[in-house]
Amino acid sequence: MNDISVLIGGKAGDGINSAGLTIAHLFNHLGYRVYMYFDYPSLIKGGHNFAIVRASEHKIGAHRETADFLLALNNDTIDVHTGMMRPDTEIIYDAGNATRATGTPVPVSGILNEESAPLIMGNSAIIGAFAKAAGIQWDVIEEVFSRHLPKETAKNLSVARKAYDVAQTKRVVPVIGPGHLPVITGNEAMGLGLIHGGLDAYISYPMTPTSNLLHFLAEQAPHLPITVVHPENEIGVIIMALGFAYAGKKAAVGTSGGGFCLMTEGLSFAGQAEIPVVIVMGQRTGPSTGLPTYTGQSELHFVLHAGQGEFPRLIVAPGDAEESYVWASLAMQLAWKYQIPAIILGDKTLNEGTYSFDRKELGEFHPDPEISGEGLVTGPAYGRYRLTGSGVSPPAFPGTPDTVVKITSYTHDETGLSTEDAGISMIMAEKRMKKGARLLEEIDRLGAVRTYGDRSSPVALLAWGSNKGVACEVAGLLGIRVVQPIVLSPFPLRQMKEALSGVKRLVSVEDNMDGQLGSLLASRGITVDNQVLKYDGRPFSVGELRGRVMEVLK
């Protein structure tokens, strides 16, 4: 099988993320499926940044632990990644800055001086040399640069061409197909999914790893009927989103754990006032500021229980770009159908990871039609919280003639007037929870738990979120099963039990210390036999997870 890994490294400011994406697009044009992991410290300049680009004939969602090509813009790339080098790894390096490297030197400084090009174009020189070393034809480079480097394309191509001409072909990467797929990040897939679900307004204060979702939607806003706002803080974000929703506009917000902490009172307000809102929550390694630019799955318990009081919420944890698109759209649609908060739980690996996006994998993903028989009656008698059989009250919005729309964070009656009456308090609490029961019925029809690998195997890996890709690949190598819950609240217990039918050994794979998904299953009567946990802020590589799974299965 054709499977190639390329690592490119340098310091912050060298444009490593852009360079990695360009390499991903080169492979994409050769017909490969691609995945890219980008690693960087919380620094604007300096430090060590690197991207691992992997290309394969088949769908992938994880990186390998060794590199076929290593592209070094400095000595750190050589020193830090010694363990990723094999005897046959081809090293291509900046002759002026990676002085401890051996392999193919590229006179980056000389080329930049000849072209009067800025330092950041050094990555174009390295990419040009890599393309020659990998046997990639020049016309592919021209097409990729022209499409994906719109600023100073001619100069970037001139720099790359000079490096291309001084390098030699070392290992030919074969062309495997004429067609190629869109290459997008998890954040971009979520943004497109929100738009598909009817997004009117996106409000966010930038917090890694959801910052790029804000940037992406802000770039798209001039071309779409959406509003994008960057308020002063996360409290302002959630309150503004609730204001949009009160006015009838479908709103979503983006944040990470620290920002979500500040949003929890607004989350409870949404639960009590029955205001729909979608929250994109990108996990990272904590607590507090923690490792702000690294990955983790340590906030499942937090989002399950955040906010005071009891109210239904939808929590989904997609595992790749296609699922991010589908479940972002469903989160928006279901939040509005049931008038509840919905949380899309991601992490740095998923949100900032880059994937080939295959529309054929989307399928049909529409929720049931709106709840019927609960017609809206406006006018002076309108009750925002009118009791219905489903628990969902027909909404009206400000501006409806002769209709006052009252919402409140207090316990209230059907009209929205505050009350402390014991009987009404119980009725309204039961009304809210009835919506959660109806939501679970619908979730059970939407494929909330997925199974991969050998579905007859008595051994299964339990994986959620971004670990889907690496778990599926390891399961394929070992001939075992993968069970992946996508919806985590309301928990699809029936689907989970069906997916685990015949499993005698269940091994959870999580990026946290507590095995939080395992604990959630235990609270539902399902026992995890072994745990493979990682909590250093870095995702599993395929080889690492395979080795650790084999160890626990001895």
Residue 316 β-bridge partners:
344, 487
Q: Is the pTM of this model over 0.75?
A: yes
Collect contacts of 540-543 with beta carbons under 8 A, ≥24 apart: 540/62, 540/467, 540/470, 540/509, 540/511, 541/62, 541/63, 541/64, 541/65, 541/470, 542/62, 542/63, 542/64, 542/65, 542/470, 542/473, 542/474, 542/477, 543/64, 543/65, 543/66
Is the pLDDT at 15 greater than 90, yes or no?
yes
- What residues does CATH 3.40.50.970 cover in the chain? 184-361
Q: Just give the CATH number of 449-552.
A: 3.40.50.920
Confidence of residue 142 (pLDDT cuts 50, 70, 90): very high
Which whole number is the average pLDDT over 191-210? 97
- Determine whether domain 184-361 maps to CATH 3.40.50.1000: no
- What residues does CATH 3.40.50.920 cover in the chain? 449-552
Contact 367, 334 (CB under 8 A): yes
Q: What is the pLDDT of residues 205-226, one digit of tens each?
A: 999 999 999 999 999 999 999 9
- What residues does CATH 3.40.920.10 cover in the chain? 3-166
Structure tokens at 184: 């997008």
Residue 391 is given by DSSP the state: S
Between these two residues, 178 and 517, which has the higher pLDDT value?
517
Is the pLDDT at 500 greater than 90, yes or no?
yes
Q: What is the pLDDT of residues 367-383, one digit of tens each?
A: 777 765 467 889 999 99
Chain mean pLDDT for the chain: 95
Is the pLDDT at 1 greater than 70, yes or no?
no
Q: Just give the CATH number of 3-166.
A: 3.40.920.10
Residue 422: CB atoms within 10 Å: 8
How far, in Å, CA of 503 to CA of 481, rounded? 9
- Residue 373: predicted pLDDT: 46
- Residue 371: predicted pLDDT: 64
- Residue 374: predicted pLDDT: 65
- Residue 150: predicted pLDDT: 86
